[in-house]
Amino acid sequence: MYDVRTKTFAAASLLAVAALVASSYAGPAAGSWAMWAVLCACVVVFAGGFPRLIGLPAPLPLGIVIALAGIGSATTAVVVPMPSPLQWMGAFCAVGVILVFLTQLLRGTGERQRLESTLGGCVGVLIVVFGSGWVGADRLAPNAADGSMMLLSGLSLAAAVLVSAINWPERMTGPLAMVAAVLVGGISSALSTDVSVVPGIVVGAVVGAVVVCLHVMLVSEASVLRGRAITAAAPGVPGAPTDHPADHPAPAPGNAVLDPWGAIAGGIAAVIASGALVYYTERLLLR
């Protein structure tokens, strides 16, 4: 399935990665605070849209917890001395998970989708704390001197996003997006004077996998919503659910696609979730 939400996903991803890469060239005066500011903005937007992406009730408490976990992890990634800027990432993830459980306990017994909200909130926390890896990667010695690795990572991610947005079935765009990310990473590193080919290929494969997986999940969720709308328009379809509680009605026919904010959150998630993977890959492979 292909609709305007796929374009929204792609546009959000491209804007986020462009802003992050541009902030890495802010200069020594700004340090990594420029990237911190961009990352925090991405985290806040993601936290606002993520509960819509997975259809959770009571989105405000979960959004606040997700945003606080991401901003806290990003802040420590700036201020903690090198060589371990992400040493507090796990702590913020743990605290965020505890707060997610607490928000569901405070909702009270009998509230709907408490289990789904707990699991979804924990996933959201994990995604945003991974985003602090972009700040950590920016502080690595090769990138601190305005090296090419941040740009190369952004180009690989953008290539995967653009291929995923093609109006083809995801079984075709998925593998092609992975190939595009790896090729762009390898070619860009071959043209660069300060990055070898192997790190470029590995980083391309890593960010490509994240983009492809999140895009496929977004498309699958939209397909589920569309199926519910078909059921609402033509009750009695064999094997389709026919009961919809009053507080959670089926989507209206013709509108059974993801909320735009949900698509934006999905696009940003593809970028910020790559952060920790980019950081650890670059730390292992760059010398």
pLDDT higher than threshold 70 for residue 254: no
The full 3-state SS of 143-194, as one line of letters, equals: HHCCCCHHHHHHHHHHHHHHHHCCCCCHHHHHHHHHHHHHHHHHHHHHHCCC
Domain boundaries, the chain: 4-238+248-285
- pTM of the entire structure? 0.84
pLDDT (mean) for 222-246: 46
- Encode pLDDT of 46-103 as tens digits: 999 998 888 888 889 999 999 999 999 999 999 999 888 999 999 999 999 999 999 9
- Encode pLDDT of 158-200 as tens digits: 999 999 988 888 889 999 999 999 999 999 988 887 788 888 9
Query: Percent of the chain beyond pLDDT 70?
Result: 82
